[in-house]
A and B are shown apart, each in its own frame.
Chain A
């Protein structure tokens, strides 16, 4: 019998009751969330339960939702049951001021660098990780660059003083444009993004 989303959902509810919540199936991939204290319990259950056997960690990444107060950071696990070829997406949310989450390195060796990457980009503190330090960015970096409060430069901005690119400077190219608004006003057309 193939492992259906409905069956996985029933199994999870049987075990954890109302603590697993927000079930949905975007593009037919079962997605759910659990309180962050339970992340290892849920992962272990998915791993060990003979009918589920989600024993392959496909990927793990962070997401920042600055508007959700108290649950700004998400950690998203994608798990795969290779035998029945079923996938699930499991999310946990945490407060950005205390982003402590248990590490999954004990269960999946693959989680080691993925968690380091998530720490590097979002500052999620994986409790119990054997070597939680930055992996892609320089060690001296003192902020977490993928958080939404660090917007990327608007490619159309014109307030920059850079004569090599015809903006401001002493050569006079483009100087007629420099009295435009600030960077945040320039960002206006990007309404889909959260504004901080």
Chain B
């Protein structure tokens, strides 16, 4: 790497003094994969400085949440990291359950784990294949995309929607998983490992891919921690912090899985960490699926906790039973007062620690709700990571950090 100070462009006599080029990468640029802007100062092709502007799709979720009953906040969380909405939904539900002191049955936990790990695979799959696209390999992206479609189909069977899922409710799921969902899950578990293996063959020891990613956008463990990195980006720098292990939720302590770590924190390590996490997620799904199958009799039909104040009753009951009708009305009209308290709860999202800080003053809506959005926090480090590298590296780094504008802007 040559020094930045040495000019790469020799200007003709009488030209203006400025020797650097200012380039707007974004807000709508194919390389940003989302709406955010990077004002990059270039010396030739080398990045001298980068200034990030975000907020293009700020939707004031934290403000809106101060007016909504708990169940109406779930669709807001969908729109944070929309590549793995179920993790956000379930993270929010578990936060509410922590505030309300609801104990969730084991089967619900295991079903949630299946859904969340599918979401993690879906999230990492997109990120890794996009890194491929940005380094010129489109095939892997299209190949893996079929399996994200299958993941979406499973969610569709469970909750009826695909991208912004609004999956589950406080206390569990809105309905039990049907046979088609399990058949599709079987299909996924059977076919995806082979596909992922093939995908890895395309990239992991590929000369071009290695040249494009090794040493690109590195960050040391110390700097990454100081910048508040979490998730795969932090683990690629060599810190084995994973919320699923450190502060288990949804019975993650019942599962046996490894936390992969990298060493240099560059794009290649991030790629490998995400790959390995997909394998671990597959293993977790298999274990959870096994545990779900072990429930027999009435237990095998449990899909929610018994919390009439927060869990919408089935529609048939609303029309035929007094109790159910009353609860339905109270929930829909947002007339349930929640206990006062302050709770911080976090889950391991696709990008790292997704935290919810909820303050309740015993009203019907949160007094204050703050989302800890991992993307927002680690995107700050972009300038430090890219300084002195090439413009094309900036593009790969952007996709390798898995920046999701929805999560950044909240």
Contacts and interface: CB of A to CB of B under 8 A. Distances in A.
Nearest to B370: A61
Interface of A: 26-27, 29, 31, 55-59, 61, 63-64, 76, 78, 82, 85, 87, 89, 108-110, 112-114, 117, 121, 134-138, 145-146, 151-152, 155, 190-193
B54 interface: yes
B54 A135 contact: yes
B308 interface: no
SS class of chain B's interface: helix, strand, loop or mixed? mixed
A63 B239 contact: no
B79 to A, nearest CB: 14
B241 interface: yes
A152 B342 contact: no
Given A78-B355, A136-B409, A113 B225 contact: no
B357 A27 contact: no
B103 interface: no
Given A29-B344, A152-B67, A63 B364 contact: no
B381 interface: yes
A152 B64 contact: yes
Given A56-B228, A59-B355, A110-B228, A78 B344 contact: yes
Contacts of B357: 59, 61, 76, 78
Nearest to A151: B67
A152 B63 contact: yes
10 contacts: A55-B225, A57-B228, A76-B357, A85-B246, A109-B223, A136-B58, A138-B55, A190-B365, A192-B361, A192-B362
Interface residues of B, number: 46
Contacts of B58: 136-137
B63 A110 contact: no
B344 A136 contact: no
A193 B364 CA distance: 9
Contacts of B67: 151-152, 155, 190
Of listed B228, B239, B341, residue having the most chain A CB within 10 A: B228
Interface string B56-100: 001010111011000000000000000000000000000000110
Contact of A192 (B63, B241, B246, B364): B364
Contact of A190 (B63, B363, B409): B363
Contacts of A58: 228, 346, 353, 355, 372
Interface string B231-252: 0000000010100001100000
B264 interface: no
A136 B410 contact: yes
A136 B67 CA distance: 20
Contacts of A192: 337, 361-365, 367
A103 to B, nearest CB: 14
Nearest to B355: A59
Contacts of B341: 26-27
B227 interface: yes
Contacts of A55: 225
A195 to B, nearest CB: 12
A190 B98 CA distance: 24
B343 interface: yes
A169 to B, nearest CB: 25
B241 A82 contact: yes
